[in-house]
Amino acid sequence: MESFSLILAIVVVTALAFDFTNGFHDTANAMATTISTGALKPKVAVAMSAVLNLVGAFLSVEVANTISKGLVDETGIRPEVIFAALVGAILWNLLTWLVGLPSSSSHALMGGLIGAAVASAGIGAVNGDVLVTKVLLPAIAAPIVAGVAAMLASRMTYSLGRKADGKAAAKGYRAGQIASAGLVSLAHGTNDAQKTMGIITLALIAGGSLAPDSDPPVWVILGAGLAIALGTYLGGWRIIRTMGKGLTDLQPQQGFAAQTSAATVILASSHLGFSLSTTHSVSGAVMGAGLGRKGGVVRWSTATRMFVAWGLTLPAAALVAALAEWVCRLGDWGTALVAVFLVASSFAIWRISRREIVDHTNVVDDDTVGAAEPAGVVTTAMAAVSPPPAGVTEDLAATVPAPATTPDPKAPSAATTV
Amino acid sequence: MSIDWAALGSVFGVSLVATVALVGLFTLGIVGLSRQERAAAEGGSAALAVTGAYACFAACTAAVGYGIYLIVA
């Protein structure tokens, strides 16, 4: 029983860590446009988003229940499988954060679950139809829907608002942006914090600590809400920079149009039964708003890198999760190895991120954006993060004695992500 | 494979109409307020423009309220 509860504890902690990276990764969705147009100061923006995420987490448990109550009986998931899935999702979130690319945390989580399920139950565990209808199609549809809406909206606000100027206009666009960004934050809290609640509840049920069909306990709701709020507050500044400045240059009118379009698409899609990813909607809206202004440009090289990251999200997270599940099955020491690997590589990614710091002080600086990103940034950065070679290991060896364990599972994952 | 084109289509339509309508209303509100600002600078007032502006903002606030209702419900 001892080891049983230990694995449960590990799963809960890992799920909260995923929740943290989720908030961290998705602050950009709500606040990138608000920050880059100067409607809110960076710190104020992330604080507001964090509070709204926390509030959102308490609003309902519906999403959490669909995860924890739908999956359990049909698959009989073991806590180790969930752990492996979370490892894949966390690593992909951190990696895309390092290179500053927005990508869907939900896709990462889904990819992780698919990979871990395949490793544990065979390829039959994946439903191809569901993959296309729930993952592939929405990923294509979201940016188009949000982009077209944002483009038309910003065209219109420019032509209608020709006569609007002065303080009243500036104040108005500022308020509008803040309101729509607030809606996105709130929706994010209810959706994404609850995904984690669902996962934790699922693990608790799978591990026998909770009766099947239970609602998430209060400590789970509180923990998930706090984790996502903390992640949001610390802010994934790299991604905010890409979204707010890297894809296009936004003026307040465009920021307002983009954020309104994103908020509308997110709410409409989740209530009309065709769920679209927040990240994909916001990215599409930002690009659409970029095209909606006369003389506005979209930096397609950055956009292309982002699309590539979207395409890789699911397979990459799945692969890492599958490897993690495979190692976990070797026994308790395997699980421990995966846990050590997760901590070590997260630390390594953090160390690499310190080489070029992006934070609230320089997130809206013009100098580094766009121009400073050479064509191969994804490849280079991923090569840098990927396995043992050269500099990385030295950095690690100086501080952690663990790197000896890393090469084994990491090498194959690197092969595919590059 | 059954793709729910109807749902996708309605998401597209609703999003498009709602976004454009909201942004349009809000812009009109802003236009009204800046007209009042200009009139005030010249010593006059533009009561109609201001009333219209507040009506627009009220409609937008209602939309945000509906959004919050959708999130909570």
Sequence ranges of the domains in chain A: 2-323
Helices (H), A293-372: 300-328, 332-353
A214, β-bridge pairs:
none
H or E stretch covering A9 = helix A2-36
Q: Work out the pLDDT band at A227, boundaries 50, 70, 90.
A: very high
What are the pLDDT digits (tens) for B30-63?
888 888 888 887 777 778 888 888 888 898 888 8
Whether residue A385 has pLDDT greater than 70: no
Q: Work out the pLDDT band at A115, boundaries 50, 70, 90.
A: confident
Q: Work out the pLDDT band at A320, boundaries 50, 70, 90.
A: very high
In contact, A398 and A378? CB cutoff 8 Å = no
């308020």: which residue's tokens? A175
CA distance B52 to chain A (A): 14
Q: pLDDT at position A245, please?
A: 85
More confident residue, A185 or A126: A185
Least confident of A84-93, A346-355, A398-407: A398-407
Q: pLDDT at position A66, please?
A: 67
Task: Look at chain B and count its residues.
Answer: 73
The SS3 assignment for A225 reads: helix
Nearby residues of A230 by Cβ (< 8 Å), 6 or more positions away: A20, A23, A50
Q: pLDDT at position A379, please?
A: 47
Work out the number of other CB atoms within 10 angstroms of the CB of residue A205: 20
Nearby residues of B13 by Cβ (< 8 Å), 6 or more positions away: none
Three-state secondary structure string covering chain B:
CCCCHHHHHHHHHHHHHHHHHHHHHHHHHHHHHHHHHHHHHCCCCCHHHHHHHHHHHHHHHHHHHHHHHHHHC
Q: Work out the pLDDT band at B68, boundaries 50, 70, 90.
A: confident
In contact, B72 and B59? CB cutoff 8 Å = no
More confident residue, A207 or A369: A207
Mean pLDDT for chain A? 78
Q: Work out the pLDDT band at A42, boundaries 50, 70, 90.
A: confident
CA torsion sign, A173 to A176 to A180 to A186? Answer: positive
- Measured CA to CA in angstroms, residue A208 lies from A75, A100, A157, A201 at distances of 15, 39, 56, 10
Q: pLDDT at position A317, please?
A: 92
Alpha-carbon distance of A267 to B67, in angstroms, equals 7
Work out the number of other CB atoms within 10 angstroms of the CB of residue B9: 12
The SS3 assignment for A298 reads: strand
Q: Which residues from B are below 8 Å from A56, CB to CB?
A: 71
Closest CA to B27 of A298, A156, A357: A156
Average pLDDT over every residue of A167-181? 85
Cα dihedral value A322, A325, A330, A334, nearest 10: 110
Q: Work out the pLDDT band at B1, boundaries 50, 70, 90.
A: low
Instruction: Tell whether B6 lies on the interface with A, counting CB pairs under 8 A.
Output: no
Burial class (CB in 10 A: 0-12, 13-18, 19+), A211: exposed
Q: Which residues from B are below 8 Å from A156, CB to CB?
A: 20, 23-24, 27
Average pLDDT over every residue of A350-366? 77
A378, β-bridge pairs:
none
Residues 32-71 (B) with a CB less than 8 A from some CB of A: 33-38, 60, 64, 67-68, 70-71
Alpha-carbon distance of A93 to A87, in angstroms, equals 10
Whether B24 sits inside 8 A of A149 (CB atoms) is no
Instruction: Tell whether B1 lies on the interface with A, counting CB pairs under 8 A.
Output: yes
Q: Work out the pLDDT band at A64, boundaries 50, 70, 90.
A: confident
Among the partner residues A148, A176, A276, nearest to B26 by beta-carbon distance: A176
Least confident of A164-168, A268-272, A405-409, B49-53: A405-409
Q: Which residues from B are below 8 Å from A148, CB to CB?
A: 12, 16
Whether residue A393 has pLDDT greater than 70: no
CA torsion sign, A72 to A77 to A78 to A84? Answer: negative
Among the partner residues A128, A156, A179, nearest to B23 by beta-carbon distance: A156
H or E stretch covering A245 = none
The SS3 assignment for A290 reads: helix
CA torsion sign, A311 to A315 to A318 to A323? Answer: negative
Average pLDDT over every residue of A316-327? 91
A248, β-bridge pairs:
A298
Whether residue A230 has pLDDT greater than 80: yes
Whether residue A363 has pLDDT greater than 80: no
Least confident of A17-26, A232-241, A351-360: A351-360
Q: pLDDT at position A414, please?
A: 39
Whether B11 sits inside 8 A of A265 (CB atoms) is yes
Burial class (CB in 10 A: 0-12, 13-18, 19+), A276: buried
Average pLDDT over every residue of A342-350? 88
Task: Look at chain A and count its residues.
Answer: 418
Q: pLDDT at position A261, please?
A: 92
